[in-house]
Amino acid sequence: MNASSGYGIRAGQVSGVAGKLETAADELGTVKSTMPQEQCSPPASMGGEEAAPAFDDFVEGWQREATVLRDALREISRKLNTTTSNYTGAEQGAETQLRRAAPAQAGLSDFN
């Protein structure tokens, strides 16, 4: 359908946003990989008995939340791509049906 009609989806723009979300998920995965994995830090390496467990808790929580965020970004990206595909298909189907229903004398240009 014509974008100026007030209806429709700008598939290129939506796909661009989905791509940016996927890139952000990849970048978050890279950042996540730079953080140490869950570990039991020797107390001396972190400055004492209280600091090592606190650091381990921080790393564990950060890894968990980074995974949730990365997965959420990927899911939103997939959903945007699916929605764009479905909406584009529906638009094309509706346009085809309108063209079939149009009287011959109306001409196809009346529906562009």
3-state secondary structure 25-73: HHHHHHHHHHCCCCCCCCHHHHCCCCHHHHHHHHHHHHHHHHHHHHHHH
Contacts of 17 (CB under 8 A, 6+ apart): 80
pLDDT at 80 > cutoff 90: yes
Provide the pLDDT confidence category of residue 1 given band limits of 50, 70 and 90: very low
Range of the domain at 39: 9-93
pLDDT at 4 > cutoff 90: no
The overall pTM is greater than 0.75: no
- Of the two residues 90 and 79, the one the predictor is more confident about is 79
- In a domain, residue 36? The reply is yes
Contacts of 107 (CB under 8 A, 6+ apart): none
In this structure, what CATH number is given to the domain that contains residue 37?
1.10.287
As for how many domains the chain has, the answer is: 1
Are residues 90 and 1 in contact, defined by beta-carbon separation less than 8 angstroms?
Answer: no
- In a domain, residue 101? The reply is no
Tokens, residue 31: 């950042």
- In a domain, residue 110? The reply is no
Please give the pLDDT value at position 84.
92
Quick: pLDDT tens for 20-31: 999 999 999 999
